[in-house]
């Protein structure tokens, strides 16, 4: 069964809109795990506009499933991750002012930099995952870098699927086949939802984990967090 890691950035965004501590990020993380979620993902950004660095620290004692911290490996992020030592760090090439992630790494152009980053995290016992587009050369580049996993950037698939084009899955299938051949673990995320997750999961060989935030939290407004977490778990079987 593919694991579900819930990205709770949107909970922090809602909290920060009014100040104070409503909704309580730590309680939400606790409840997600109680409801069956198999991991918690956060993506702190330098301006702390949603997840704050202190949130990342506070969550360490709350997350008893698997803790995944994703972000652009600038020095402040690196230091935070090394301090917390989550189970997994996902490296994402975000611009400082990016609203959300919008591209995977060029693992060829950034080979030396990413190799250094991956080795630093691995020396500290942290599993690494590199955010990549479904491009075979980028998958091969990730293998050379030495990361344990890749995270497939699924926005293009989700867009195509929403238009009724199921062929948008094809480059992801090819990427997954290659990743499996190379011994890379496969994660996936971005714009996955209750509408498309089952199709994606059923067609990607060796998919280990999906991280879902925006859609899941939005769906929970209508259906409730407990219900939505369990609906995803059913579709990921």
Which positions are annotated as active-site residues?
43, 70, 190
159 is in an annotated binding site: no
Residue 170 in contact with residue 205, Cβ under 8 Å? no
18 is in an annotated binding site: yes
50 is in an annotated binding site: yes
7 is in an annotated binding site: yes
The residue among 203, 205, 130 whose CA lies nearest residue 160 is 203
Instruction: State how far the Cα of 104 lies from the Cα of 111, in Å rounded to an integer.
Output: 13
Residue 102 dihedral angles phi and psi, to the nearest 5°: -135, 10
Query: Looking at the DSSP assignment, which residues form a beta bridge with residue 212?
Result: 6
The residue among 172, 170, 167 whose CA lies nearest residue 190 is 172
191 is in an annotated binding site: yes
123 is in an annotated binding site: no
Residue 96 in contact with residue 123, Cβ under 8 Å? no
71 is in an annotated binding site: no
57 is in an annotated binding site: no
Q: List, as residue ranges, the binding site for 3-amino-2-oxopropyl phosphate.
A: 7, 18, 191, 213-214
Feature table: binding site for 1-deoxy-D-xylulose 5-phosphate? 45, 50, 100
Per the annotation, where are the binding residues?
7, 18, 45, 50, 100, 191, 213-214
């Amino acid at each position: 069964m593919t694991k579900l890691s819930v990205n709770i950035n949107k909970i922090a965004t809602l909290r920060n809109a009014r100040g104070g501590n409503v909704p309580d990020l730590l309680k939400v993380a606790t409840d997600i795990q109680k409801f069956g979620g198999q991991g918690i993902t956060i993506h702190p950004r330098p301006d702390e506009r949603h997840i704050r660095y202190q949130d990342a620290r506070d969550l360490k004692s709350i997350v008893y499933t698997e803790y995944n911290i994703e972000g652009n490996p600038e020095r402040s992020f690196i230091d935070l991750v090394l301090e917390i030592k989550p189970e997994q760090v996902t490296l994402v090439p975000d611009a400082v002012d990016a609203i959300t992630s919008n591209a995977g790494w060029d693992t060829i152009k950034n080979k030396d930099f990413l190799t250094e980053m991956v080795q630093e995290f691995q020396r500290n016992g942290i599993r690494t995952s590199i955010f990549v587009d479904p491009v075979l050369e980028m998958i091969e580049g990730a293998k050379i870098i030495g990361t344990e996993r890749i995270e497939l950037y699924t926005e293009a698939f989700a867009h195509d699927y929403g238009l009724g084009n199921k062929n948008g899955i094809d480059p992801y299938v090819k990427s997954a086949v290659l990743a499996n051949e190379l011994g890379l673990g496969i994660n996936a995320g971005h714009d996955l939802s209750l509408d498309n997750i089952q199709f994606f999961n059923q067609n990607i060989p060796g998919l280990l984990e999906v991280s879902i935030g925006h859609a899941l939290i939005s769906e929970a407004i209508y259906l409730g967090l407990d219900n939505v977490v369990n609906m995803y778990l059913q579709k990921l079987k």
